[in-house]
């Protein structure tokens, strides 16, 4: 029995993970760094780190003992869905989107480009690849927009859909050699149309599609009839050019151009790199221009006979180039009445560009050629027709789209040399299609014996491509098969003294919902019990649970004074507020006493009273944690011996052990990881409990153990990665990028 777990299942799991950061009952995640001692497993070393053992000891207990510090993952800035890093490369054949393709996830059907150095990165989905040809024209953001219906690059005829853009800073924060981030684009998703038709694939072009023409509008409102339009043909051509030579330069624009022949000595350019301005062979008007092609009209002179060894020069831009090819687009209008009936009349340029309608009549009156269009949507506004003698038209076979949706229309672009349909251009995308078929019908101009009308061509074979659920751009996570979540967190030097910037690390990971061990809360002066009476901070009860409304943070009271609560096993993150605040109330679940947590207060002398402290350091918060045990009041008792970094230390009296990490700058705090047993200090004039380095032989005593900030073995370690060592320094920032694949 066949089973299928869809590709969207992986995307769904990735979405669920991201949503867990900020949903109502959200989880709190930290990136941690640990293990400052070398890898010693058989067959592995610091240069070839092992994969962590996925056992309770290897994936939980030991990483907790090796943990040094961590930093909160901010959903707003540190978390992104990720997709494949497919940077656009010239002359690459990209796959096109196809709703029938079950292997699309494994193909390069989307790309990203950067138009300007330092600018945003744009991500495009390929909807059409010009029948499998290489892409040579880079798609760029400035040529499209969030609500652009159809975007086709001019040179290579690829059709692209803008998915979203990435600010350069966000791109650099998350990019890896294999992945780039998704940055949802509200305008793109907001303009997505569910069930719209964006592309029709031509499987075979058929034959005898002869009902094609192009030209200009001569008159509108003929004989007072709004939709009766007189048209005439126009000599036009596509000019392909190259600026590869050193003598060629400049950028062509919409302008008049000249075809210039050789100098008297047979050269195209003289010693000053100038063409022969006096040898003007032909001229025309460029109505479209890009980096390799000019579309021209109003042609005069021996234009088509000079496709080689001729310089083309713009009269306004002064740009110059060498002609490589000229393709005529000239078509004479038929002298047969209704020859173009039911064809599509499309305004390709000028006033009304983009308007399309079916031709309901084609009239031949002497030398005049006239059409009646079925509707004037796009051709007119409230004051009348907007098309005029600047408007360029094209007549093409009609495309009839049928399915369960509505409103989609298109026109067929014909290869006039063979009379076959080359491509289908969508003029109206419609909506709500989940399936559709298309038929292309055009006049052949051939009248069979005994018949009064020309045969119709309808033998092109095409496939309507249906967009994804919601339309292209509605959900880039699912559409681009994002099954990876990227987490990028910066550890900036010592984070203001909150974490160590010494020794090294060789393990990184993610911990979910750890409990803070010792949080001090300065409480407001006014406390209220269940009866509404004002009471003091000591009215809270030892070991009772306190919960903060709104934030949901909670903990267990382990110490209480008039204006200070010490809370252990803290889940979530407490927030401070003004004393009068009624939203963020801290409520004792047994005593029913409630209060607010004070905000930081800066005194006249510059000292600060912090409303929340997560360890003994001023300024400590839920943003970072220090997981080392800090032996305060450290005094070395061996003058001739110094402790060696990473050596084991043992307190003989208690049999407690640990691994030496570092000593603070003041020399008063000795820090260890891998703590085992109960380290005991000599505080309050008690006896000294010396400890000794097992490599150095150095000995010392201390007053009091502080930390770790997180209650050991709480929460869940959900990700571990062993890496080659990173040597920390107070003058550098470590950017940790984690790619979690689902």
> Residues 225-243: pLDDT tens digits?
989 999 988 777 788 888 8
- Residues, the chain, total? 742
Query: What are the Cα distances from residue 100, in Å, to 90, 465, 681?
Result: 27, 8, 71
Nearest one of 111, 187, 121, 192 to 153, comparing CA atoms: 111
Q: Where are the domains of the chain?
A: 7-77+487-511+716-741, 202-233+332-466, 236-328, 519-613, 629-706
pLDDT in tens, 44-94: 999 999 999 999 999 999 999 999 999 999 999 999 999 999 999 999 999
Q: How far apart are CA 322 and CA 262, in angstroms?
A: 12
Q: Tell me the DSSP string of 88-128.
A: --TTB------TT-TTGGGS--EEEEESSTTS-EEEEEEEE
Give residue 192's pLDDT band: very low, low, confident or very high (50, 70, 90).
very high
Q: What is the pLDDT of residue 448?
A: 59
pLDDT in tens, 18-53: 999 988 778 999 999 999 999 999 999 999 999 999
Quick check: 455 pLDDT over 80? no
pLDDT in tens, 552-591: 999 999 999 888 999 999 999 999 988 777 788 899 999 9
Residues in Cβ contact with 178 at an 8 Å cutoff, skipping those fewer than 6 apart: 84, 85, 739
Strands 691-693 and 398-403 turn out to be unpaired
Helices (H) and strands (E) counted in the chain, each on its own, are 7, 53
Quick check: 628 pLDDT over 90? yes
Q: What percent of the chain has pLDDT over 90?
A: 64
Query: What are the Cα distances from residue 75, in Å, to 22, 28, 399?
Result: 7, 10, 48
**CATH code, 7-77+487-511+716-741:** 2.60.340.10
Quick check: 1 pLDDT over 60? no
Q: How far apart are CA 349 and CA 235, in angstroms?
A: 15
Element (H, E) at 479: helix 476-479
Q: What is the pLDDT of residue 524?
A: 77
Contact 253, 268 (CB under 8 A): no
Give residue 289's pLDDT band: very low, low, confident or very high (50, 70, 90).
confident
Q: How far apart are CA 202 and CA 596, in angstroms?
A: 69
Name the residue with higher pLDDT: 604 or 718: 718
Radius of gyration of the chain (CA): 37
Instruction: Kindly report the backbone phi and psi dihedral angles of residue 461, in degrees, each rounded to the nearest multiple of 5, phi listed first.
Output: -110, 120
pTM, entire model: 0.83
pLDDT in tens, 498-529: 999 999 999 999 999 999 999 999 987 666 76
Q: What is the pLDDT of residue 234?
A: 73
Q: What is the mean pLDDT of residues 150-160?
A: 84
Quick check: 137 pLDDT over 60? yes
* Residue 22 burial (CB count, 10 A): 11
Burial of 159 (0-12, 13-18, 19+ CB in 10 A): buried
Q: How far apart are CA 134 and CA 118, in angstroms?
A: 27
For 602, how many CA atoms within 13 A lie in the half-sphere containing its CB?
Answer: 2
Give residue 531's pLDDT band: very low, low, confident or very high (50, 70, 90).
low
């Amino acid at each position: 029995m066949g089973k299928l777990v869809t590709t969207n299942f992986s995307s769904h799991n990735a979405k669920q993970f991201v949503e867990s950061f900020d949903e109502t009952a959200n989880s709190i995640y930290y990136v941690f760094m640990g293990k400052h001692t070398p890898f010693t497993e058989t067959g592995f070393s610091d240069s070839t780190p092992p994969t962590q053992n996925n056992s309770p000891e290897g994936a939980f207990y030991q990483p907790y003992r090796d943990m040094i510090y961590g930093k909160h993952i901010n959903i707003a800035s540190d978390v992104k869905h990720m997709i494949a890093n497919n940077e656009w490369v010239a002359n690459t054949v990209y796959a096109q989107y196809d709703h029938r393709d079950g292997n699309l996830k494994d193909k390069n059907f989307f790309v990203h480009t950067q138009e300007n150095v330092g600018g945003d990165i744009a991500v495009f989905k390929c909807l059409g690849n010009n029948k499998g040809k290489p892409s040579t024209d880079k798609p760029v953001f400035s040529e499209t927009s969030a609500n652009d219906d159809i975007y086709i690059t001019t040179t290579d005829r690829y059709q692209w859909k803008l998915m979203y853009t990435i600010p350069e800073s966000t791109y650099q924060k998350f990019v890896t050699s294999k992945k780039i981030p998704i940055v949802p684009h509200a305008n793109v998703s907001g303009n997505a149309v569910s069930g719209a038709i964006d592309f029709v694939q031509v499987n075979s072009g058929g034959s005898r599609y002869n009902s094609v023409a192009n030209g200009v509008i001569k008159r509108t409102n003929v004989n007072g009839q709004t939709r009766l339009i007189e048209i005439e043909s126009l000599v036009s051509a596509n000019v392909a050019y190259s600026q590869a030579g050193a003598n060629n330069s400049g950028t062509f624009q919409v302008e008049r151009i000249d075809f210039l022949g050789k100098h008297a000595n047979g050269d195209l350019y003289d010693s000053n790199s100038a063409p022969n301005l006096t040898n003007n062979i032909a001229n025309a008007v460029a109505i479209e221009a890009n980096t390799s092609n000019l579309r021209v009209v109003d042609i005069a002179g021996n234009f088509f006979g000079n496709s080689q060894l001729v310089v083309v020069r713009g009269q306004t831009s002064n740009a110059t180039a060498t002609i490589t090819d000229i393709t005529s687009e000239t078509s004479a209008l038929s002298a047969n009445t209704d020859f173009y009936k039911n064809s599509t009349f499309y305004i390709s340029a000028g006033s009304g560009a983009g308007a399309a309608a079916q031709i309901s009549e084609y009239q031949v009156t002497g030398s005049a050629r006239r059409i009646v269009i079925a509707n004037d949507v796009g051709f007119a506004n409230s004051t009348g027709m907007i098309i005029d003698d600047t408007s360029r038209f094209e007549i093409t076979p009609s495309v009839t789209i049928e399915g369960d949706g509505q409103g989609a229309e298109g026109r067929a672009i014909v290869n006039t040399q063979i009379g076959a349909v080359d491509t289908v251009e969508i003029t109206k995308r419609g909506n709500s299609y989940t399936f559709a078929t298309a038929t292309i019908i055009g006049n052949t101009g051939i009248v069979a014996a005994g018949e009064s009308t020309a045969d119709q061509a309808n033998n092109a074979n095409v496939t309507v491509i249906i967009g994804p659920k919601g339309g292209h751009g509605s959900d880039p996570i699912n559409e681009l098969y994002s099954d990876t979540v990227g987490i990028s967190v910066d550890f900036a030097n010592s984070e203001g003294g909150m974490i160590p910037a010494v020794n090294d690390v060789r393990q990184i990971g993610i911990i979910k919902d750890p409990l803070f061990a010792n949080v001090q809360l300065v409480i407001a002066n006014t406390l209220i019990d269940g009866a509404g009476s004002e009471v003091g901070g000591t009215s809270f009860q030892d070991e009772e649970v306190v919960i903060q409304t709104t934030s949901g943070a909670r903990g267990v009271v382990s110490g209480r004074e008039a204006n200070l609560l010490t809370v252990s096993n803290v889940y979530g993150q407490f927030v401070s507020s003004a004393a009068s605040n009624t939203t963020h109330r801290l409520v004792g679940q047994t005593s029913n006493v409630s209060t607010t947590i004070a905000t930081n207060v800066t005194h006249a002398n510059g000292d600060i009273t912090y409303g929340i402290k997560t360890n003994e350091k001023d300024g400590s918060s839920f943003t970072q944690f220090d997981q080392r045990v800090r032996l305060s009041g450290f005094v070395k008792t061996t003058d001739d011996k110094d402790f060696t970094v990473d050596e084991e230390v043992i307190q003989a009296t208690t049999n407690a052990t640990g691994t030496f990490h570092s000593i603070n700058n003041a020399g008063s705090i000795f820090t260890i990881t891998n703590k085992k047993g109960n380290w005991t200090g000599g505080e309050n004039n008690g006896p000294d409990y010396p400890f000794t380095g097992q490599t150095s032989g150095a000995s010392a005593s201390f007053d009091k153990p502080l930390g770790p900030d997180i209650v050991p073995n709480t929460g869940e370690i959900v990700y571990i990665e062993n890496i080659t060592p990173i040597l920390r320094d107070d003058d550098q920032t470590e950017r940790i990028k984690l790619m979690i694949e689902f």
